[in-house]
Amino acid sequence: MGTWSEEPFGNDTAADWAWELDEADSWDVITDVLQDYLGEEETDSGLDEVAVAAAAVVAHGAGLAVSEEEDTESVEGFLGRVGAPPASVVSAARAALDKVGGQSELAELWADADGLDDWRATLARLRGALPA
C-alpha cells in the first residue's frame, strides 16, 4: 500500500488522481467518480482511495479546512473555480464514505496495518463536515 498517512490524499493513488482536478471546471469530475464507485459491487483499494479523496474534496468544498499535512493545491484551485458542492454530490460523498468505511479492501488493509481506528476517525471527520 503506497500510503504515508491516513489522510485522504496520503496515498499514491489519491495524490495522483488529484491532478485531474487541475483541468476540471465543474463538479462533474467528482460526481462521476462517486457514482462509478457506488455502482461497483466489488471495489479494490485503489477505487476505495479515490472515492475517499473525492469525498474529501466535497467536504472541503462544504467548509472543512484542508489538511496542512497534504499537498492539496489542486483541490484548492478546483474549489476556487467551482464553488460549493451541490446537494446531490454531498449525498453521494456521504454514501461513498459509508461504503468504503464498511467492508472494503481498503478497510482490510488499514486493519492489517493496525491503523484502522485512525483511518476511520478521518472518514468520520470528513463525513461530519458534509451538510445534512
What is residue 3's predicted lDDT score, i.e. its pLDDT?
Answer: 67
Q: Among positive and negative, which fits the CA dihedral 92, 67, 49, 53?
A: positive
Label residue 96 exposed, middle or buried (CB < 10 Å: 0-12, 13-18, 19+).
buried
Is a pLDDT exceeding 60 seen at residue 1?
no
Q: What angle do CA 69, 132, 15 make, to 5 degrees?
A: 25
pTM of the model: 0.94
> Which of 46, 44, 58 shows the shortest CA–CA distance to 97?
58
Label residue 78 exposed, middle or buried (CB < 10 Å: 0-12, 13-18, 19+).
buried
What is residue 2's predicted lDDT score, i.e. its pLDDT?
Answer: 65
